[in-house]
Each structure stands twice: as structure tokens, then as C-alpha cells.
Amino acid sequence: MTMPDACPGLSVNNLSRTFLGASKPLFSNLSFSLNRDGRLAVLGRNGQGKSSLIRMLGGVDRPSVGRIDWKMSPSWPIGFNGGFQGSLSGLDNIRFLSRLYERDYHEMRERVDDFAELGSALLRPVKHYSSGMRARLAFGLSLAIEFDCYLIDELVAVGDARFQRKCQEELFEHRANRAFLMASHDVHLVASYCDTALVIESGRAKMFSDVNEAVDVYTWLRAA
């Protein structure tokens, strides 16, 4: 089912993903669209393909079948750490991305440093960062570069309660007019900030226009 939208910012048509050597697809025939201010939750138990879908939408992985058409600028998958060059320092990664996206390095460094709160750790190679530090850097970089749509894979769970609240304020409140897709197990977060949801289960995906109904279905699946 495709959500109605006169001019969607994202259109996904007949998307399928099958891993090499697998006997069946992770999911298949997935179609949906997202408004330019839409907020879509991606729900599913572990191993159902939520992160794979986010990576495909972010251009990290390619679909086996199907088409992804963006009419707005997507972020890289926030929470996916493979985009960093581990031998480079946090500052060098900021410098590389500022050149790649044609942003002012000093302004971008200041914004990342202020948000990620990594301090002198930015001088160290990223390969020595903890997973939480890498996630902070990824989130800080994603917010330092303004995108039309943010792709989120559970990153909001990183850090202490204060930092989690800071992430939610920056992403969901200060960027209230932006679109996002969020793969998350946090049903309270989904119900608070998302207006539609996609539930993936056993290779099939169903779109829900009522996010609370989707949360109920997902909760039942998780308990089964």
C-alpha cells in the first residue's frame, strides 16, 4: 500500500533484498512514499530488515530488485558507522565531509564539537572510539549538515538521559519541518513523533496510516 501524496519526497517501488546465498528474500515487493514533511517509523523484530532498508535508502546498500527515487536530500543512515575512515581523527572526518558536502569546515567543526561533546577525543583516530562516541560523532555530523530527510537507525538511544533528550530536541523539535524515517524498537518514541509506520515481518511489509495501530501490531508480534 502506498500512502497518498501529490508530490512525494521519496518513492519506493517494488523493493526487494536478498542476500547472496540466501534461500529467500529478507523482504520483497515493498512500495511506499513519504511526504516532504512525513515522519515514518520502520518497525519489526530483530532480523526482519529494518536496518537493511535504512541502508538502502541511504545509498549504502543496493536493492536486489526495485527502485528508490529521492526528490529531497537524504542524510546518510544515522547510526551506521561504516561511513567513517577509522584511521583518520574525528576532526579529519569532519574536514573530509565538509569538503564532500561543500560546507565551511570551521563552522561545521564548531557545530559538531558543540553537539557531540567529544572534546579532545576529536583529535584521536575514530577506530579508537567506543560505539557510543562514534554514534555521537555521526549524529553531530548529520545535524551539522542540513538535510531534507533524516534516516535514523536507533541512534537516539545512545548516551545518558540528558544526551538522549538533546538528540530528540535537535532532531524532532528544532527540525519539525523536516522528514525522517526511523527504525526503532522504542514504541513510546515512535508513538510520540511518527505519523505513519511500516511494519516488516517474515519478508512482507505493511504500511499503516495510524501509527498507534502499527505499534499495537508490532507489540503483539514481539510478544508472540
pLDDT tens by residue, the chain, 224 residues: 444 446 799 999 999 998 888 888 888 899 999 999 999 999 999 989 998 999 999 988 899 999 999 999 998 887 655 567 778 999 999 999 999 889 999 999 999 999 889 999 999 999 999 878 887 888 888 888 889 999 988 765 566 778 878 888 888 888 988 999 999 888 998 999 999 999 999 888 899 999 999 999 999 999 87
User: How far is residue 17's CA from residue 25's CA, in Å, rounded to a whole number?
Assistant: 6
Backbone angles phi, psi at 161, to 5 degrees: -60, -40
CB 43 within 8 A of CB 200: yes
Pairwise CA distance, residues 182 & 16, whole Å: 19
Look up cell 579532545; give the residue. Answer: 120
30 beta partners:
15
pLDDT at residue number 121: 95
Locus of grid cell 508490532: 218
Give the CA diameter of the chain: 51
188 SS3 class: helix
pLDDT digits (tens, 9 = 90+) for 39-85: 999 999 998 999 899 999 998 889 999 999 999 999 888 765 556 77
CA distances to 73, 83, 111, 150 from 51, rounded to whole Å, are 19, 15, 27, 14
Q: Cα separation of 85 and 75, whole Å?
A: 18
pTM of the entire predicted model: 0.85
Spatial distance between the Cα atoms of 111 and 137, rounded to a whole number of angstroms: 11
19, 35, 48, 215 from 133: Cα distances, Å: 30, 32, 27, 30
DSSP three-state, residue 29: strand
Reduced to 3 states (helix: H, G, I; strand: E, B; else coil), residue 200 is: strand
Domains of the chain: 1-73+151-158+179-224 (3.40.50.300)
Sequence-separated (6 or more) residues with CB below 8 Å from residue 173: none
Residue 188 in contact with residue 115, Cβ under 8 Å?
A: no
Q: How far apart are CA 217 and CA 162, in angstroms?
A: 31
How many whole angstroms separate alpha carbon 103 and alpha carbon 144? 9
